[in-house]
Structure 1
Amino acid sequence: MRRRDVLRMTAVAGAAGVLTLDTVNFAGAVDRTDGDGSRREETRTVRGHLPTGAPDFVYVPVEVPSGVREIAVSYTYDKPPVPEGTNGNACDIGIFDQRGTELGGAGFRGWSGGARTEFFLRSDAATPGYLPGPIRPGTWHIALGPYTVAPQGLRYGITVTLRYGASGETPKPVYPPQRAKGRGRAWYRGDNHLHSIHSDGKRTPAEIAALARAAGLDFLTTTEHNTTSSHGAWEGLWGDDLLILTGEEITTRNGHVVAMGTDPGVFLDWRYRARDNAFGKYARAARRAGGLVIPAHPHATCIGCNWKFGLNEADAVEVWNGPYTPDDEVTLAEWDNTLVAHAQGRGAWLPAVGHSDAHRDPDVVGLPQTVVLADDLSREAILAGIRAGRVWIAESAEVGLAFSVIGGRGEHAGIGERLRVDRTSPATAHLEVTGAPGCTGSFITDQGTRYTAPLSSSGSGTLTWQTTPDNAAYIRAEVRHPATTGGLPGPMAAMTNPVFLGPA
């Protein structure tokens, strides 16, 4: 990288967090020809150095001439030793075509993050994470994402190969249907945060579908990091018993968000931070595409995972991500505080959901799973159920749960609903649990945990507790294992969204 590039980086990074380097041209590149002298492929390698404090995205323009049928890219970067407690080098990669790199993704053609060191694109095929399509002439851009840079800086090398010849035909993607057979109005189990070989997962869509069925799931959502390439990869894997929704995990530098149930093929951009005040725009784009906006693992400890965008644009919150940990406990407490605010008339409440975020063995698909009361097993009905808060979360399909609150005159409210009774009227909470041996059940209100009782040795039991709206603005239920960490309650086995009490 030349000195003028460093100067330009300093100027641009403060405004947009991007840097565009000099254009890669293929004049003088390694030229391999066929016997008749016609070009077969050309290769060019460029190298550079990024200093600590490099912008979030570094674009390398590549001039692509006509007649190219395939682009192949590989890259390397150094990983020098760093002092303890200091971040080393980590650099992601992707590509944009001749339509440009503007936010919104018109030119987006793929992203593999740090999961791959090479990829290719052509009309009829592409590396998972990338979108097949014509290789049209113009200025393409390889996108580097220097996630963390060591004190010594980051030295990289990018090799670009252009292969010439006739283009193949781009296949029309086959997307999953919007509805499965289902059981009419019922509770349906799903896992809506999953990764395959189309981002940084190790499982194929076929393997994930098989694991979902084995876990007793009725639906799943494919949510790869910053790409939609998996949307057309599930042909033959859905059925009457399994609804497959499409989505994306929008993976920014200030938190990750699951865009659940978006229209197939709709890409949502990730290239912004909280300070850019852009999240609302892309959250609204997700909803225009028919999806839900769900902040993922808001208090995870991985770099860039902490949620910094606030909850004003969210439709639900992932309070439980994979095996239950102290990170989830913090998220749960924060979410519970939002219920108190809603009970005080300060804004809408956000339903809680739980997903596995499974990537590879031994990650368990369906640990946890979101259980939704929906009118049928369809995209529209499932999303409506989540949006309304008719949701509880379980560690597996072995756990069964029923929760409701009954008024003194027989009034009834279920999960996500309001029991509309006078503030001094009695309200009785009922919780029935199966499949949770060794666990305890509890009722939680805006005053905290108010009642706890053990379940039977078989894991079954019924808990009943009475209060009034004056003493409880809402009631929700938890089922927990015995404590394993000092100072913290036991890991969650199941939990519900609240029932609110009192007049609206």
Structure 2
Amino acid sequence: MTRLVRTLRLGLEDLLADDLRTVAFEVDGEPGVEVTVEYDREAAVVDLGLEGPAGWRGWSGGARTTFVVGRDAATPGYVPGELEPGEWRVQLGLYRLPVEPVEVRVTVELTASPGVPPEPPGTPRPEAPRASARRLPALDGLTWFAGDFHAHSNHSDGEQSLGELAALAVGNGLDFLAVTEHNTVSHHPLLAGVGATHGITLLPGQEVTTARGHANAFGDIGWVDFREHPDRWVETVAERGGVLSVNHPLQEEWAWQHPLAALPDALELWHVTWFRDQTATAPWTLLSRWRDDVTLLGGSDYHHPRHGYLPGTPVTWVAAEENSPEGILDGLRAGRAAITRLPTPDAPALVRLGDDLVALAADGTVLGDLDGRRRMLHGDRVVVPAERAGRGPFRLESPAGEVLAITR
């Protein structure tokens, strides 16, 4: 067994100079590697990842301090497979460091192929009513499917397995769920099988994550390198046939701060944190500076049960020909998306039917447009012709100004 120990002293000045560090080691036929990082976790946050000669092998951010990778198994968040000979690099992301440097100790052990405990499969839920059974009005050949475009498992900083996450989404009536792990796609090969077990479409995703902003890349398009400029993310995702969405653009320290030459196709307008203050004007001000044809998404950013909410908080609806990953992506590319506060049949909804707006469970709600005009709606189903709708995106509000539904 080969063992390498490297100790670095890192502080705020190091982070400001470059927020990534690497520790290199050589592999020459060994079947497995175990990496451990030790530091004062009360004083600092150091992210952890791995890159081999053939490319990226995984990322666990600050959620783990150790991982293993072998031919046949790997810690969730990392890709199993042969360890190709040559130089490998432990990737250290300097997320938060104090002024006074702290010791960061990295231990690399090349071992026999490591054992990894199997992931909990999650208990399949009884056949639950799906939100799509509501049959929101759609053009011929399309169905509105209900889902969530932002969720995490133990393949990054979530605490539950893919199966457990899928079971929760099914239990909340969702038709699909995008699993968007930070800077890794280790979960992508597993999603079809887990989804089939639980009866839900699991959409491949990656949350491309930096200290200056996050973006979700949707589709089975391979790994997107978070170390490149975000302009390159936009180009890469488009070249590979995926969809890119800027995440929680106004959320505290995770707000979007990257300049972009071209805005991506989608925007996570309704992040779960906006349930705290949905009467704020900031999201609508942001939209006035975005692309007119942006596809608006919602995301729960689910990580663990202590959140106190389920995947699908809020719900994003996509009008698609079929409930498959490619069908959902096609709907996104066409801009056929809407957001509601809840997946229940009696929740107010606002969707496009051709060029017209249709509001459901809308009696007593207020329809608002991007220019600030507001009108009260009367009746459970209200059709607003395109010529009378105003300028979108549009939103349904309660009389007190609470946002209930959004559509472009």
After TM superposition, the score normalised by the length of structure 2 is: 0.83
Q: 2:79 is paired with a residue of what secondary structure?
A: coil
Kindly indicate whether the alpha-carbon contact (under 8 Å) linking 1:316 and 1:352 is maintained by their aligned counterparts in 2.
yes
CA distance in 1: counterparts of 2:317 and 2:60, whole angstroms: 31
Equivalent residue in structure 2 for 1:461, among 368, 376, 380: 380
After TM superposition, the score normalised by the length of structure 1 is: 0.68
CA distance in 2: counterparts of 1:238 and 1:320, whole angstroms: 25
Kindly indicate whether the alpha-carbon contact (under 8 Å) linking 1:299 and 1:330 is maintained by their aligned counterparts in 2.
no
Kindly indicate whether the alpha-carbon contact (under 8 Å) linking 1:320 and 1:328 is maintained by their aligned counterparts in 2.
no
Kindly indicate whether the alpha-carbon contact (under 8 Å) linking 2:247 and 2:256 is maintained by their aligned counterparts in 1.
no
Number of aligned residue pairs: 377
| 1:209 corresponds to 2:166 | yes
Q: 2:202 — aligned with what?
A: 244
Kindly indicate whether the alpha-carbon contact (under 8 Å) linking 1:321 and 1:328 is maintained by their aligned counterparts in 2.
no
Kindly indicate whether the alpha-carbon contact (under 8 Å) linking 2:393 and 2:407 is maintained by their aligned counterparts in 1.
no
Bigger Rg, structure 1 or 2: 1
Q: 1:333 — aligned with what?
A: 284
Equivalent residue in structure 1 for 2:404, among 466, 473, 493: 493
| 1:58 corresponds to 2:14 | no
Equivalent residue in structure 2 for 1:267, among 223, 242, 246: 223
Q: Give ranges in structure 2 of 5+ residues lacking alignment.
A: 116-131, 134-140
Runs of 4 or more, structure 1, over 6 Å off, are 464-467
| 1:93 corresponds to 2:48 | yes
Identify which of structures 1 and 2 has the higher relative contact order when contacts are C-alpha pairs closer than 8 Å and 6+ apart: 2
Kindly indicate whether the alpha-carbon contact (under 8 Å) linking 1:44 and 1:160 is maintained by their aligned counterparts in 2.
yes
Identity of paired residues, percent? 31
Q: 2:360 — aligned with what?
A: 432
Kindly indicate whether the alpha-carbon contact (under 8 Å) linking 2:231 and 2:260 is maintained by their aligned counterparts in 1.
no
Q: 1:486 — aligned with what?
A: none
* Pair 369,221 (structure 1): closer, same or farther in 2 beyond 3 Å: same
Equivalent residue in structure 1 for 2:365, among 441, 448, 451: 441
Q: 1:234 is paired with a residue of what secondary structure?
A: helix
Kindly indicate whether the alpha-carbon contact (under 8 Å) linking 2:350 and 2:406 is maintained by their aligned counterparts in 1.
no
Equivalent residue in structure 2 for 1:350, among 277, 294, 309: 294
| 1:115 corresponds to 2:73 | no
* Pair 400,161 (structure 1): closer, same or farther in 2 beyond 3 Å: same
| 1:161 corresponds to 2:161 | no
Equivalent residue in structure 2 for 1:313, among 244, 252, 263: 263
* Pair 206,473 (structure 1): closer, same or farther in 2 beyond 3 Å: closer
Shift of 1:371: 0.6
Kindly indicate whether the alpha-carbon contact (under 8 Å) linking 1:297 and 1:328 is maintained by their aligned counterparts in 2.
no
**Map 1:69-80 → 2, pairs under 5 A:** 69-79=31-41
Shift of 1:430: 5.0
Equivalent residue in structure 1 for 2:150, among 177, 181, 193: 193
**Map 1:364-403 → 2, pairs under 5 A:** 364-398=310-344, 399-401=346-348, 403=350
CA offsets per residue over residues 214-244 of structure 1, 9 Å max, x none?
1111111111000001112335432394222
CA distance in 1: counterparts of 2:279 and 2:25, whole angstroms: 44
Kindly indicate whether the alpha-carbon contact (under 8 Å) linking 2:230 and 2:258 is maintained by their aligned counterparts in 1.
no
Q: Give ranges in structure 1 of 5+ residues lacking alignment.
A: 1-40, 81-87, 100-105, 169-181, 273-277, 340-346, 405-413, 420-428, 484-488, 498-504
**Map 1:139-178 → 2, pairs under 5 A:** 139-164=87-112
* Pair 391,226 (structure 1): closer, same or farther in 2 beyond 3 Å: same
| 1:68 corresponds to 2:19 | no
Q: 1:298 — aligned with what?
A: 249
| 1:450 corresponds to 2:374 | yes
